[in-house]
Chain A
């Protein structure tokens, strides 16, 4: 069976798969997303989003959290999160729980 592209929606519960590591490098003092032959440095907002991709909460809830924190419209935040995470999902750096 061929695998299918994961299309993120607001109810998707995203999780970082086992073979990808999202961690704080103590020597460099920066967050990094480590994947096969890739190292990505997420920006401040992306770091907050990725910290919440723990396989427990949906994109909807992540968005609501951030909307409260930044006093921004929920729909817009969710749209931004989906765009950002879809790109990671397409590279295989994010899964659905």
Chain B
């Protein structure tokens, strides 16, 4: 039991960094965890127990590609037994129908499938995986046939935002419950390709209109989540519901992070589930305590009436773009660097889009799991 804090709501279990796709906007760290350093099954089962004992509600199995782990079944089964709500976040290309059915029987409650585009050629080009899009469509149909709710996750950017309407239509056709329109987050690998992905202002304006209209027309049919990209916003979003407030993220090798991108912060030593319990880490880990709450905040935030709404924005972004992890998130208008960074980003988007740099992994040993 925790003494002073409320337990997190959800845990993001990054089972593996291995992934059959190599999206140029991948937000995983530039240095990936290799297969032989991944936590083993027993470690994960213990982590699931510790999460349930803390009162955590949900577990999201993610990656890389979580289905690259052959023991995913055991984890889903165990999490379900411990009454955690289970969600699979997948690129879907490795899944067979039999395996999906088995996962469902073992207690899988929701599936989120990522799409790179609504149009086959462009989608497969962006993910750099031949036949990927077709496979995703198939898996999405299976999810619904098996009676599980489906979320479509679409990462949108300059090279596919013009297909937003088709993406919405595709989601309705697939009988998805929810469409999550995510914008590329510019850390990890994606920062290398920022100029290729930054949407133009016109694109964004029309995308907002499309979303507004679809939300009205599709009320009660499809829920659409859409957040304005940081670079065009005036205030930051609340990153992860606030640092160390609601979520924790476990990397493939067992490091416990306040968010998925936190490993970009090199000055921190993150505690590992192999050495310490989740409860201990949540309460005592230095990186978690460092930016938790409002005490750490710089001056415009400290007295700002949004401080407990956005919790000062994103630390990883502050570091990546200003070099200072304790700085005001430059997305915010009150950041002294807002103008400068906002200006350079939009400039990139008004020049011609460069080719992207694919993410090619050395540890790419994923085959479909045979039963």
Q: Find residues 3-61 in chain A having any chain B CB closer than 8 Å to their own CB.
A: 3-7, 18-19, 21, 23, 25-28, 32, 34, 36-37, 39
Asked if B109 and A39 sit within 8 Å, CB to CB, the answer is no
Asked if A5 and B7 sit within 8 Å, CB to CB, the answer is no
Asked if B58 and A2 sit within 8 Å, CB to CB, the answer is no
Chain B residues positioned under 8 Å from A26 (CB to CB): 55
Q: How large is the interface on A (under 10, 10 to 19, 20 to 34, 35 or more residues)?
A: 20 to 34
A89, CB-defined interface residue at 8 Å: yes
Asked if A92 and B54 sit within 8 Å, CB to CB, the answer is no
Question: In the complex, A82→B149 CA distance in Å?
Answer: 24
Asked if A34 and B148 sit within 8 Å, CB to CB, the answer is no
Q: How large is the interface on B (under 10, 10 to 19, 20 to 34, 35 or more residues)?
A: 20 to 34
Asked if B54 and A3 sit within 8 Å, CB to CB, the answer is no
| A5-B221, A36-B177, A37-B87 known; A27-B54 Cβ under 8 A | yes
Q: Find residues 1-49 in chain B having any chain A CB closer than 8 Å to their own CB.
A: 1, 6-7, 9-10
Asked if B148 and A92 sit within 8 Å, CB to CB, the answer is no
Residue of B nearest to A36 (CB): B110
Asked if B110 and A39 sit within 8 Å, CB to CB, the answer is no
A-B interface contact total, Cβ < 8 Å: 62
Asked if B57 and A25 sit within 8 Å, CB to CB, the answer is yes
A91, CB-defined interface residue at 8 Å: yes
Chain B residues positioned under 8 Å from A89 (CB to CB): 220
Residue of B nearest to A34 (CB): B85
A80, CB-defined interface residue at 8 Å: no
B147, CB-defined interface residue at 8 Å: yes
Smallest beta-carbon distance A87→chain B, Å: 10
Of the residues A18, A27, A92, contact of B223 by C-beta under 8 Å: A92
Of the residues A19, A28, A90, contact of B148 by C-beta under 8 Å: A19
Contact mask B45-87 → A, CB, 8 Å, 1/0? 0000000111101101000000000000000000000010101
Question: In the complex, A40→B148 CA distance in Å?
Answer: 20
Asked if A34 and B57 sit within 8 Å, CB to CB, the answer is yes
Chain B residues positioned under 8 Å from A92 (CB to CB): 149, 177-178, 223
Residue of A nearest to B9 (CB): A39
Asked if B110 and A37 sit within 8 Å, CB to CB, the answer is yes
| A19-B109, A32-B57, A36-B110 known; A91-B10 Cβ under 8 A | no
B90, CB-defined interface residue at 8 Å: no
Residues of B within 8 A of A (CB): 1, 6-7, 9-10, 52-55, 57-58, 60, 83, 85, 87, 109-110, 112, 147-149, 151, 172, 175, 177-178, 219-221, 223
Q: 3 smallest A-B Cβ distances: which pairs?
A: A5-B220, A27-B55, A36-B110
Apart from A25-B55, A37-B87: 5 A-B pairs, beta carbons within 8 A: A5-B219, A5-B220, A5-B221, A32-B57, A92-B223
A sample of 15 inter-chain contacts (CB < 8 A) reads A4-B220, A6-B220, A18-B147, A19-B109, A21-B85, A23-B83, A27-B53, A28-B6, A34-B57, A36-B109, A36-B177, A37-B60, A90-B220, A90-B223, A91-B223
